[in-house]
Each structure stands twice: as structure tokens, then as C-alpha cells.
Amino acid sequence: MSCRLKDAGLDLEMLLSGASQIVVFGSFAAGLNVPLSDLDVVCIGNGTRLKNRFLDLCWVSDENVCKYEWLGSELAGHVAKYGVWLNGPDDWRGATFTSNAAIERKRRRILSLARTVSRLWERLHPIFRAQYDVTIRRELQRLKMLEAGISIPPTRVLDETWDTEGCSGLLQFRDSIAKLRLYAGQSNAPDILRRAS
Amino acid sequence: MPSKQISLRFIKRAVEELDRVLDEFDSSDPEYDEGLLKTAFTALINEGLITGKGKAKDLGLDDLMYEMFGEFPPEDLLERAQTFDNLIDTYVGEPSEDDIEEAKGHLERILDGLRKKVDSLEKRKLREEGLWRNA
């Protein structure tokens, strides 16, 4: 971790001074990292968000960490289940849950992504269209899990599930959302939305 | 490592594209704003100006600064670009309309900075052409 922090111009001691807890999550914490994986870290305390190719570091204040909004969020649920505490007590770990707000937010995000891609399709490079194909498929997988009260696993697990289990379950779930059925069969829609059931 | 030759044409096109992003910017829809930025990158990739195509899917506004200016972009522009990317990032939580408005403000300042850069590069070019003719 300290190598990744150094690459990003930070050092572990500096982080320790501002954070009461440091938690690694995502692919590194699950031991699923590949050479190009970024390191996901959430710190409890006050600091500056940092995101680059090597590191994605976010902060939750000491005040907010015990609030309903954080404890019910998708990220808190993921960190509580898959996170590795490098420093500080994991005192909120058992208090997370999936809030209706987290589910609603995910639903809104998917609808907004679908609308965006559809509107901008002709102006998007194929590499971005392909990126949206993956993003929307993963977000649908996450929404399905959130609705079932399951903590979201690392992204690589989502991809492996998709590869092994196929798409029929997810297409069925997609069809349960009326506003997404509008995109079925449309050429300017991301793959998972334009596929026939 | 030799420093990158700064392309006036690249910066001018980036200004045009980012101007268009600003015109269509919607402070109530961060996903749409991220999409708009990708359309700007698309235009610059299609014209061969952004060459780091392999990394294109992860492109942010800060990467555009490196693409335009090489290893050492102007610090103020880079900082604003990084702040912009972080503010509209929708991964950790839903950005508030205030966050998106703040991001828009940074984009406006970035455009101001890029226009000034275009002006100074054009003046330098004219000076150099004048010197060459006099010589």
C-alpha cells in the first residue's frame, strides 16, 4: 500500500495523522487485484479526496460515520463486508444495512446513464460505448443485489458471475423496471438494455 | 525526457469542445455531464489529438491537461481539472447540485486559462514569424 501511496504523492504516516481509521476495500482487500488495479481506500476523518490511476482515496468524517446516511449506503455495506482495516477500530462494521435511499440512488443512476448514452450515442467513441455497456451491466447487477439486501462484492466478482451465470437472470430483472424496457431493441442503447429478453 | 511540443491547434480544439460541454452542462444530472465530457474526448480522439487511446476509457479532465501540455501542465489548470473530476465523480456518493455547480465554475476557469494560453502562444508565434522575416 505504501508504494501506491508514494506513487500518488502521499505517505502512510501523513494519512495516519489525519485518519482515525484506514480501510482498504475493493480488489486489493479481496486479493483479486491485477497489476493495473487501483487501490481503494476509505479513511475516517478529515482529508482530501484523491483519485488517480493508482489510488482512489475517499474520506468519511468521524461525525458522519455513525449516521444513517453512511451506514445505509452501498459503499459502507461493501467496506463492512470486504474491507480490511489497516488502522483503527472497526466499530461501525456490524451496523451497516441497505437503505431505501441507496436503492433509489442506484435506480436513478442507471436510468440517468441509460438516458445519457441513448442521447449521446452518435457522439461517443466506440471505446466509451463499450465502457457504458460494462458500467450499466455492473450497475444493474449491483441494483439487483441491493434490492436483495446483499452487500456488493468487488467488481471482479460481478464480472466473473456475469461470465459464468450468463445474462438471463439479469435480463429478467431489467424487464422488471418499466423505464428500462423502452430501450429494448434500440440500436443507440447499451448492450444490456438493447438485448431481447 | 524531452518536453512535449505544445500544439496550438490541440488547445484551440479542446477549448471549442469544452465550450460545447459548458453550453450543454446540466447541474441536475452528473451522469449526463460525465457523458458530455466523453463526447469532447471522442472528438479529440477522432481528430488524432488525444493519442493515449488505450487509456481513453479512464480519461478525465486532468488526463486531457497531460495530453495537451505533456509531463508538466500548468499547475493551476491541473489542480482545477482534478477538482472538477472529483466533484462530478459519481462513485462514492451522489454529487449535490452545489458540487456540480462548483465543478462548472472550475470548468469555466479552465476555459479562461486555456484561452489565455492560446493568446500567448499565438502572440509568440507572430513574434517568431516577424523575427524570421526580419532576419
**How high is the pLDDT of residue B92?**
60
Q: Which residues of B touch A112 (CB under 8 A)?
A: 29-32
- How close is the nearest chain B Cα to the Cα of A109, in Å? 7
Give dist(CA B113, CA B107) in Å, integer.
10
Query: CA nearest B88: which of B74, B105, B75?
Result: B105
**How high is the pLDDT of residue A7?**
67
Question: Which among B39, B53, B62 has CB closest to A123?
Answer: B39
Task: Summarize pLDDT for B9-63 with one digit per residue, the tens.
Answer: 999 999 999 999 999 999 999 999 999 999 999 999 999 999 875 566 678 899 9
What amino acid occupies position B103? A
Q: Where are the domains of chain A?
A: 2-95, 100-194
Mean pLDDT of chain A: 90
Q: Which fold has domain A2-95?
A: Beta Polymerase; domain 2 (3.30.460)
Task: Summarize pLDDT for A4-32 with one digit per residue, the tens.
Answer: 666 666 677 777 778 999 999 988 898 88
Task: Summarize pLDDT for A143-180 with one digit per residue, the tens.
Answer: 999 999 999 999 989 999 999 988 889 999 999 999 99
Residue A2 confidence class, pLDDT cut points 50, 70, 90? low
Residue B77, Cβ neighbours under 10 Å: how many? 22
B121 touches chain A (CB under 8 A): no
In this prediction, what percent of chain B has a pLDDT beyond 70? Answer: 89
**How high is the pLDDT of residue A91?**
94
> What is the ipTM metric for this complex?
0.87
Q: Which residues of B touch A50 (CB under 8 A)?
A: 86
- The stretch B87-99 carries a mean pLDDT of 76
Residue B94 confidence class, pLDDT cut points 50, 70, 90? confident
CA B25 to mean position of chain CA atoms:
15
**What are the strands, taking DSSP E only, across B27-121?**
none
- The stretch B97-121 carries a mean pLDDT of 94
* Residue with grid cell 479532465, as numbered in its chain: B61
**How high is the pLDDT of residue B32?**
94
A54 touches chain B (CB under 8 A): no
Say how many CB pairs under 8 Å bridge A and B: 62
Mean pLDDT of chain B: 88
Question: Which among B35, B45, B94 has CB closest to A116?
Answer: B35
Is the pLDDT at A72 greater than 90? The verdict is yes
**How high is the pLDDT of residue B59?**
86
- The stretch A43-69 carries a mean pLDDT of 88
* Residues listed for chain B: 135
**How high is the pLDDT of residue B125?**
84
Q: Which residues on adjacent β-strands are paired with residue A51?
A: A56
Q: Which residue of A has its CA nearest to B92?
A: A75
> What are the cell numbers at A70?
453512511
Q: Which residues on adjacent β-strands are paired with residue A45?
A: A19
Is the pLDDT at B1 greater than 60? The verdict is no
pTM for the whole structure: 0.88
Asked if A123's CB is within 8 angstroms of B91's CB, the reply is: no
**How high is the pLDDT of residue A125?**
94
Q: A29-57 as b/e, with b when 16 or more CB fall inside 10 Å?
A: bbebbeeebbbbbbbbbebebbbbebbbb
Query: CA nearest A123: which of B43, B25, B23, B54?
Result: B43
Residue B129 confidence class, pLDDT cut points 50, 70, 90? confident
Q: How far is CA B129 from CA A43, B7, B11, in A?
A: 54, 16, 20
> What are the cell numbers at A21?
481509521
Phi-psi region of B48 (alpha: psi -120 to 50; beta: other; left: phi over 0): left
Measure the CA dihedral A177/A179/A180/A186, to 10°.
Answer: 150
Residue B2 confidence class, pLDDT cut points 50, 70, 90? very low
Task: Summarize pLDDT for A174-191 with one digit per residue, the tens.
Answer: 999 999 999 988 999 999
**How high is the pLDDT of residue A9?**
65
Asked if A112's CB is within 8 angstroms of B38's CB, the reply is: no
Q: Which residue of B has its CA nearest to A106?
A: B94
Task: Summarize pLDDT for A90-130 with one digit per residue, the tens.
Answer: 999 999 999 999 999 999 999 999 999 999 999 999 999 99
Give dist(CA A24, CA A84) in Å, integer.
5
Query: CA nearest A42: which of A8, A3, A68, A80?
Result: A80
State the DSSP string of A17-73.
HHEEEEEEETHHHHT---TTPPEEEEEEES---EESSSEEEEEE-TTGGGSHHHHTS
Q: Where are the domains of chain B?
A: 8-134
